[in-house]
Amino acid sequence: WGNPLVLQVSRWDPLKDPSGVMRGFAELLGGPNHAGAELVLAGPSTEGVADDPEGASVLEGVIRDWQDLPESVRKRIHLASLPTDDVAENGAIVNALQRHATVVVQKSLHEGFGLTVTEAMWKGRPVVASAVGGIQDQIEDGVSGVLLEDPRDSSAFARALAGVLNDPQRARRLGEAGRER
């Protein structure tokens, strides 16, 4: 896979804003600075998560929103429903996605502590995330990642992605500082 990969790993939860991630990514693709990027939204298989009653309906909504996108955008956005019955297999898939990602995003509307943010930082990946909850304590904006002041602002999200995707030296510095932090 030679194209830059933008990745969000999260539950299929409206507070993780997967449809908002797609909208912002679509805006990125509409401009000149998309760097040929592709997006993967990865979440748990809804059949394997008993304690998330709204996960299936959120995933259905994300699929509908994806289907409403133009074909040129849809072919650059990949929805991945990850197996949960084997914890080691799930962990290996998430690890592989995070290690391959060019940028890891966590565009949550609300968040306690962003575990996927910490995992990405540990792996030296640049992170673009919402300035909400514990994520604000994890990332130093502009130093160890990029914080979005308003997670609902899809244009700001697209600009933040473009700023990391189109500046490999900045991406490397953010990833290294994130790992150190």
The pTM is what? 0.94
Is residue 175 within 8 A of residue 169, CB to CB? The reply is no
For residue 26, the tally of other CB atoms under 10 A from its CB is: 22
Q: Which pair of structure tokens corresponds to residue 168?
A: 């490999």
- Count, residues in the chain: 181
Quick one: pLDDT at residue 55? 85
Q: Which pair of structure tokens corresponds to residue 64?
A: 């509908």
| CA–CA distance, 172 with 156 (Å, rounded to integer) | 21
Ranges of the chain with pLDDT below 70: 48-51
For residue 78, the tally of other CB atoms under 10 A from its CB is: 14
Quick one: pLDDT at residue 48? 63
